[in-house]
Amino acid sequence: MNDPLNTEEKILEAAKRVFVRSGFEGTSMQKIADEAGINKALLHYYYRSKEKLFEQAFSKIFRQFVPRAQEIFNSEIDFFDKIRLFVSTYIDLLVENPLVPGFILQEINRNPNILYHIITQAGVNPSFFFIHAEKEIAAGNIVISSSKHLFINIMSLCIFPIAARPLMQKIVFQNDQRSYEIFLEDRKTEVSDFIINAIKRK
Amino acid sequence: MNDPLNTEEKILEAAKRVFVRSGFEGTSMQKIADEAGINKALLHYYYRSKEKLFEQAFSKIFRQFVPRAQEIFNSEIDFFDKIRLFVSTYIDLLVENPLVPGFILQEINRNPNILYHIITQAGVNPSFFFIHAEKEIAAGNIVISSSKHLFINIMSLCIFPIAARPLMQKIVFQNDQRSYEIFLEDRKTEVSDFIINAIKRK
DNA sequence: AATCGGTTTAACCAATTGGTTAAATTAAGT
DNA sequence: ACTTAATTTAACCAATTGGTTAAACCGATT
C-alpha cells in the first residue's frame, strides 16, 4: 500500500504521468502537485522550475524506449530475425505506453533544442543497425537504396499507427476499439513480413 | 500590399498559423490577436470562444490535406501508379507544411472527441482505396494480408518522417538539415519502391 | 443631418499561471 | 534536552489567462 518512493522520486513519477497526458503547455505545476499528493512549493524545492522538472521527466520517459531497441540492434542474430524481434518488441512496448509517441512528437516539434542534450544522455546510437544493414546489402542479401531509409521505414511502421491511433481507428475502423487492438496485434508479424518482403533479394 | 481578407478570415488565418506553431494549450487568444493585428475582443466577437475558434481552425487545416488524397485514391489509374502518385504528392504537401503532422497528432491525442465532427465534415473516405486494393488482391496482382494494413503502412511511411523530423534528423543525420532535405526528396520514389516491392507478386 | 446596424476598441473581470518566502515541522546528531 | 539541517506547508506575488461590457467608430439608408 505504501510506496517506497521518497518525495523527489514521487514528484518525478507524477510529473511523467501528467506531462505525457497533457504535454508541457497543458500541464500546470498545481496538477503535478495534486497528482503527487503534495504541496506545489515542493516541486520548486526539488526541481527549481517547470522547465527543469520537464527536462528530467522527458529524459526519463525517452530513456524508457532506448535501451530495448539498442539491445536488439546490437545483438548478434540474423538480420531478418533482428527486424522481426525489434518490430514485435517495440509494438508491444508502445501499446503499453500509447500516449508516449504522441507526447514525444509534440514536444520535439515545440522545442527541438532540448533534444540534443537528451539524446546524448539517453545513449541513442543506431550505428550497429546501420553496420549490419550495410553488410547485408554488400552481401547481396537485401536490396534497399540506403540503410537510413530502412531504419526510418521500420520506425515509421511501428510508431505512427500508435501515435495516430485516434485518427486511424476512426477513419479505418469506424472507431471500433477492439478491432484496432486486434489490428495492432496483427501488425507485430504483418509489419515484419512487409519489410522483409520489400528488401529481400528476389 | 493590402490584403483582400475581411477581419473574420484574417482571424482564422492567424489562428491557423499560431495553433499549428504552438498547439491549443500553447496558444493564447492574445497571441492570435497580435498575429492578426487586431484587438483581442474581436476574436470573441467573431468566434465565441477559444474552443470554437480552434475547432474551425483545426477543421480548415485538416481539410487542406484530404481532397488531394481523395482525388488520387478515386482516380482510375493503375494501382502501383496510384501509390506512386499519392506518395510523391503527399510528401511534397507535407514538406510544405512541416508542422502540421505533429500538430494534428498532438491534438487528436489531447482531445479525440473533436475528431468525429471534423472527419465527417472533411469528407474523409478511403473506401475507394480499399476497393481498388481488394480487387488487386483478388486478381492476384498484389500480396498483403489486408488492405487496411497497406493503407496505414503508406500513411506511416509518408507522415512519420516529417512529424518526427527533429528527432530523426538528429539521430540519423547528426542534425544536418540539408541532408534531411535530400533524404525527404529521395523518399518520394524510395517509399513507393519499398511498398511496391513489399506487395507485388513474386 | 439623423439614425441605424455592424464593427472595433479600451477597460475591466475573476481565475489561474509559475514562482517566492518565511514560518512550521520533522528527523538526526550531540 | 538542544541544536542543526533538511523537509513541508500556507500565504502571498505579479503576470497572464479566457472572457465580458459598454462605449466609440464607421459606412450606408433615410
Residue of A nearest to B113 (CA): A166
Among chain B residues, CA nearest to A117 = B170
Q: Show the cell assigned to A24.
A: 508541457
- Residues A9-49: pLDDT tens digits? 999 999 999 999 999 999 999 999 999 999 999 999 999 99
Q: How far does the CA of B8 sit from the C1' of C8, in Å?
A: 12
Measured CA to C1', the nucleotide nearest B7 is: C7
Instruction: Give residue-wise pLDDT tens across range B81-94.
Output: 999 999 999 999 99
Confidence of residue A2 (pLDDT cuts 50, 70, 90): very low
The pLDDT of B99-112, averaged and rounded, is 94
* Terminal Cα distance for chain B, rounded: 59
Q: Tell me the one-letter amino acid at B32.
A: I
User: Helix (H, G, I), strand (E, B), or coil: what is residue A115?
Assistant: helix
Which residues touch A201 (CB under 8 Å, ≥6 apart)?
A140, A141, A142, A143
Q: What is the pLDDT of residues B11-50, one digit of tens each?
A: 999 999 999 999 999 999 999 999 999 999 999 999 999 9
User: Given A24, A166, A186, which is nearest B108 (Cβ)?
Assistant: A166
Ramachandran quadrant class, B73 (left: phi over 0; alpha: psi -120 to 50; beta: rest): alpha
pTM attached to this predicted model: 0.95
Q: Give me the residues near strand D, CB below 7 A.
A: A 7, 38-42, 45; B 27-31, 40-41, 44, 48-51
Give the single-character DSSP code of A64: T
Give the side-chain half-sphere CA count within 13 A for A188. Answer: 14
Work out the pLDDT band at A4, boundaries 50, 70, 90: low
Q: How far is A136 from chain B (nearest CA, A)?
A: 17
Residue nearest to nucleotide D10 (CA to C1'): A39
| C1' (D23) to CA (B37) span, angstroms | 22
